[in-house]
């Protein structure tokens, strides 16, 4: 286990947030085939899932390398119409998530943020919104707090309300300028 303590906190936050989403069967982060962080799964099954995820990832990397396709970043397995398995590498760990396909997009976004070491912290109340879902007010799609536009309907999401303190925040969690807020308020008045 060579992951740094600060990185562990980040990974733990990812695993905890994802595990709490509706439609997640389990999340397991494993190191060399052994469970490291797990959620939504029994201990004995976690050993099995971790081992399978690791060999799946290793075999896939081996094959894609042999075929000259470069390094494997992630693997998605379509288990049936609605259930998917997402396997990806994060530092020296292999993560596996079994989930409902409706969560496909948000899981990819969360993974991107995890890998890019990106954080969204509310400037006012310091709540960590990195792995929290922001529902588009226009279409209800799941977005991340760092998104500027809704991936589904294209709505402008530059300003969002912090779910903890109610303040308006920018995609990086910082405080918006006076004119940005003013334009936002005017827009919301005239679009009614």
Q: How far is the CB of 12 from Zn ion (least distance, A)?
A: 21
Of 18-26, 55-63, 113-121, 145-153, the segment contacting Zn ion by CB under 5 A is: 145-153
The answer to whether 79 contacts Zn ion (rule: CB under 5 A) is: no
Q: How far is the CB of 188 from Zn ion (least distance, A)?
A: 15
Convert 51-76 to b/e letters by CB count within 10 Å (16 or more is b).
ebbbebbeeebeeeeeeeeeebeebe
| Contact call for residues 18 and 41 (beta carbons, < 8 A) | no
Tell me which residue of 2, 7, 6 sits closest to 115, measured CA to CA: 7
Q: How far is the CB of 150 from Zn ion (least distance, A)?
A: 3
- Choose, by CB under 5 A, the member of 93, 122, 159, 170 that binds Zn ion: 122
- Summarize as ranges the residues that interact with Zn ion (CB under 5 A): 122, 124-125, 127, 136, 138-139, 141, 150, 152-153, 155, 162, 164-165
């Amino acid at each position: 286990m060579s992951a740094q303590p600060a990185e562990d906190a980040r990974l733990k936050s990812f695993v905890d947030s994802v595990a709490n989403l509706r439609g997640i069967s389990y999340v397991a982060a494993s190191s060399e085939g052994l469970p490291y962080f797990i959620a939504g799964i029994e201990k004995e099954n976690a050993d099995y899932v971790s081992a399978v995820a690791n060999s799946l990832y290793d075999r896939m990397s081996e094959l894609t390398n042999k075929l000259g396709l470069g390094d494997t970043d992630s693997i998605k397995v379509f288990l049936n119409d609605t259930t998917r398995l997402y396997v990806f590498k994060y530092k020296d760990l292999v993560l596996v998530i079994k989930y409902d396909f409706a969560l496909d997009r948000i899981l990819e976004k969360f993974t991107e943020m995890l890998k890019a070491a990106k954080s969204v912290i509310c400037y006012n109340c310091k709540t960590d919104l990195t792995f929290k879902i922001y529902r588009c007010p226009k279409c209800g799609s799941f977005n991340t707090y760092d998104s500027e536009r809704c991936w589904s309907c294209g709505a402008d999401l530059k300003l969002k309300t912090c779910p903890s303190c109610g303040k308006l925040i920018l995609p990086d969690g910082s405080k918006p300028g006076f004119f940005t807020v003013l334009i936002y308020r005017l827009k919301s008045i005239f679009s009614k």
